[in-house]
Chain A
Amino acid sequence: MEILQVIILGLCLGFVYALMVSGLTLIFGVMRIVNLAHPILIISGAFVSYWLFILFGLDPILSVPAAALTVALLGVLLYKLIFEKNAAQQTYSEMTVLLTFGTAMVIDGLLAFLFHNTQRTASPAYATDAIFIGDIFIPLAQLYSGMVSLGIIVVLALFLKYSEFGIAIRATSQNRTSAELVGVNVKFVCLISFAIGCALAGSAGSLVSFVFSFFPSRHWEWIAILMSLVVLGGMGSLTGAVIGALVLSVVSSLVGAFYSPAWSTMVFFLALFLILIIRPRGLFGIRTD
């Protein structure tokens, strides 16, 4: 019974992780930018929800749109200032990675300066509650955040699958020139995809604000965690990212429960390292270079 309990908790968190990486994988797919600033954008979103909760008592789940919008605007700003020139060429280069690395440092420094590196968690009423199904107990925070994440991912998947613009996004990520030749304004698609990716980071941040404790510098750890998820699923593939997130989250929960919580994050780092080395293309195949 205990093992089932751990797996269910792992799955709930897994959906949150999946939401956290969905934006990363979208941006990589369209622009070939490995956005190391993604985790700090998530934390920015978490701060938005956290302060809305502390100052106005707004439930973090209800502030998902606010956080998404704020971070999307921040993303558009970053895109215009930093990435526009590189994104236009779709170069998959070290240089863009270092640019995102620098961006991550800038936001990290700014947030740490404003709010200090103290651990924070938004604590809505349900954060300490749980429901019982038979012997299995599920904390409401995990349950709600998992469900909201799942919902957002489904909406994203439907958008990419069926809407005209969604198909254009997928077409652009497959072949930029071909997309341009059927009349797609590729630069606009890039900008919007970047904004959507950042909005996804922001909405994930809202959920993070009450599921995890967070502080600005924590994003370094999350860089490696998120990278492990996308690399497992194959960069640029949403389905792959979701599967990667669920698998690693469950494994990490199992390690945490049956071996030692101290080693649970090691699962992500080791997985990332090994997959990059053994199969640079990721287990589910979509190319990384």
Chain B
Amino acid sequence: MISLICLPIVQFFGNYNYVIHMVLFSFLYITMSSSWNIIGGYGGFISIGHNVFFGIGAYFSGFIYARYGISPFYTAVFAGMIATVFGFAIGLITLRVKGPSFIISSIALLMIFRTLFDRWELVGGAHGITLPHNTLSVEWSKIPHYYALLILMVLSIYLSWYVRHSKFGLALRSISHDEIKSEVTGINIKIIKVTAYALSAYLIGAAGAIWGDYLTYVRPNIFFIILIAANMVLMCILGGKGTVTGPIIGTIVMIFINEFILANFGASELNIFFTGLLMILTLLYFPDGIIGSLKKRKLLPGFLDWG
């Protein structure tokens, strides 16, 4: 943890932007996959449209920045709230179905948002919003994002840990096993499900706001693509969905693999290929993920066993 806080010091000794970029990219995805894990892992509702909230957060803060000049670093908190409100509203509608129907409805949701933002002229249509660069020098320009995403990541892990060990999380996991039995035991399943969904939207929305500023543009074909959601899902499954440390490990492994592929094959099309292949192999031979499998065999080292 301390080493992560201190890591930007390397910039005093030269330009390590690539390292910084990779680490903050990991922060971003750990935030997203840990958040996804709340509804997808504990709750068992597999959403392949969860980056809708990522886009909503990015568009909210990006629009305010472009129009009123208020930096996303201040508005990220509100971007998260907006995402939560949307999460609540959408959750009320979509969480009535489960299983494969829910997966399909999440894809439909993503397509609806993609189409809306592609056509919505106020926020730039398909071209999206372009944001001003920050005024820091090249070495230091990534540092604010670094710390912002670090904070979000820590929050997301804490949230995930908290949910895992709370009564709320227990109810959520019982819903994922059997909705009807849970309801009979007196759990208000609707409130629990929708709250979990909205909760998982919050940090993803906030992360979207920061990421929009980092990229300096917010476009539908960057934020509303299914690959982002696929990554969230795969990272959780690879690491072990429904565990606290699974998404973290899964994300780190995935990012290494992605970088390896990019470095050796170059083409980003192959990245999709390998992501898909990894997903198939994990599901077929490794459905409990890294953490889950280790736990089953009682090989999980104590420092990774957070529940």
Task: Please tell me if the beta carbons of A95 and B283 are within 8 angstroms of each other in the complex.
Answer: yes
Task: Please tell me if the beta carbons of A231 and B277 are within 8 angstroms of each other in the complex.
Answer: no
The CA-CA distance from A194 to B129 in the complex, in Å, is: 45
Task: Please tell me if the beta carbons of B283 and A224 are within 8 angstroms of each other in the complex.
Answer: no
Please, which residues of chain A bring their CB within 8 A of the CB of B112?
266, 269-270, 273
Task: Please tell me if the beta carbons of A94 and B99 are within 8 angstroms of each other in the complex.
Answer: yes
Task: Please tell me if the beta carbons of B108 and A99 are within 8 angstroms of each other in the complex.
Answer: no
Please, which residues of chain A bring their CB within 8 A of the CB of B105?
272-273, 276-277
The CA-CA distance from A93 to B101 in the complex, in Å, is: 10
Please, which residues of chain B bring their CB within 8 A of the CB of A106?
273, 276-277, 280
Which one of A44-52, A108-116, A241-249 is at the interface? A108-116
Please, which residues of chain A bring their CB within 8 A of the CB of B8?
none
A171 at the interface (CB under 8 A from B): no
A144 at the interface (CB under 8 A from B): no
Please, which residues of chain A bring their CB within 8 A of the CB of B46?
94, 97-98
Q: Contact residue range for chain B?
A: 35 or more
Q: Contact residue range for chain A?
A: 35 or more
Q: Which residues of B (234-269) have their CB < 8 Å from a CB of A?
A: 237, 267, 269
A43 at the interface (CB under 8 A from B): no
User: Please, what's the 1-or-0 string for A214-258, where 1 marks a CB less than 8 Å from any CB in chain B?
Assistant: 001000110110011001000000000000000000000000000
Closest B residue, CB atoms, query A34:
B100
Task: Please tell me if the beta carbons of B269 and A102 are within 8 angstroms of each other in the complex.
Answer: no
Task: Please tell me if the beta carbons of A273 and B108 are within 8 angstroms of each other in the complex.
Answer: yes
Q: Is the interface of A mostly helix, strand, loop or mixed?
A: helix
Which one, B101, B111, B115, B233, contacts A276 given CB within 8 A? B101
Task: Please tell me if the beta carbons of B103 and A97 are within 8 angstroms of each other in the complex.
Answer: yes
Closest A residue, CB atoms, query B113:
A269
CB distance from B281 to the nearest CB of A (A): 8
A79 at the interface (CB under 8 A from B): no
Please, which residues of chain A bring their CB within 8 A of the CB of B270?
109, 113
Please, which residues of chain B bring their CB within 8 A of the CB of A221?
111
B93 at the interface (CB under 8 A from A): yes
- Can you report 11 A-B residue pairs in the complex whose CB atoms are below 8 A from each other? A36-B107, A98-B237, A98-B279, A102-B278, A103-B276, A103-B280, A104-B276, A110-B269, A224-B107, A224-B111, A263-B119
Residues of chain B whose beta carbon lies under 8 Å from any beta carbon of chain A: 44, 46, 48, 93-94, 96-97, 99-101, 103-105, 107-109, 111-112, 115-116, 118-119, 226, 230, 233, 237, 267, 269-280, 283-284, 287
Residues of chain A whose beta carbon lies under 8 Å from any beta carbon of chain B: 34, 36, 82, 85, 92-99, 101-110, 112-113, 116-117, 216, 220-221, 223-224, 227-228, 231, 262-263, 265-266, 269-270, 272-273, 276-277, 280, 288-289
Task: Give 7 new A-B contacts, CB below 8 A, not counting A97-B104, A104-B276, A105-B279.
Answer: A101-B48, A101-B230, A102-B278, A109-B272, A220-B226, A231-B104, A263-B115
